Amino acid sequence: MGSAYIGSVIAHSGNTATIRVYQHHPDYGLDPEFFMDEWGAMAIAGWAFTDGYAVLNFKRTKTDAPYAKLLADGAKTALGESIGSFDNLFDTPASDVEALRVTKVELVRSAYNDENSPERLTAAGYPPNQERFHEVVMKICGILDIHVEAEDDEILAPLVVGVEWEY
């Protein structure tokens, strides 16, 4: 459980998309307002970078299918170009991503933590002291949906449903 969150595109049509954020570690919360201020840019734009830190350290993941790159090595997305550098996403609110506008943030399932893990594990069909490896965490984790709208279709054009990234 090295990453704090996993982002996944669950819907995309034209200039809109829904990005689902899965809390992947109990030490990180999922309060929507705080999350959007601290992790927002990473959540809505982390997919836009195909080189550097995003791929080498965070890795895009796909647990139920072989890994496939979103773009060719060295290719730039329009969103990535507008942001400049992947480093600009750290500690940056979603509102600072000029090419995207967040239209709705929806808490699907509250954050899990060390205090509520036993009951969440039991509800998911595990013993209360179950080791929290990836598949288990994904059944008990907090979930946040972020709906975004781009200035134009080109900004979100590279997105496909199922693209995932860790941060």
- pLDDT-derived band of residue 58, with 50, 70 and 90 as boundaries? low
pLDDT in tens, 105-162: 999 999 999 999 999 999 999 999 999 998 999 999 999 999 999 999 999 998 888 8
Q: Which of 61, 38, 2, 54 is nearest to 144 (CA)?
A: 38
Q: Which two tokens stand for residue 83?
A: 């942001």
Pick from 46-55, 59-68, 104-113: least confident? 59-68
- pLDDT-derived band of residue 54, with 50, 70 and 90 as boundaries? low
Model pTM score: 0.90
pLDDT exceeding 70 applies to what percent of the chain? 87
Alpha carbon distance 103, 151 (integer Å): 12
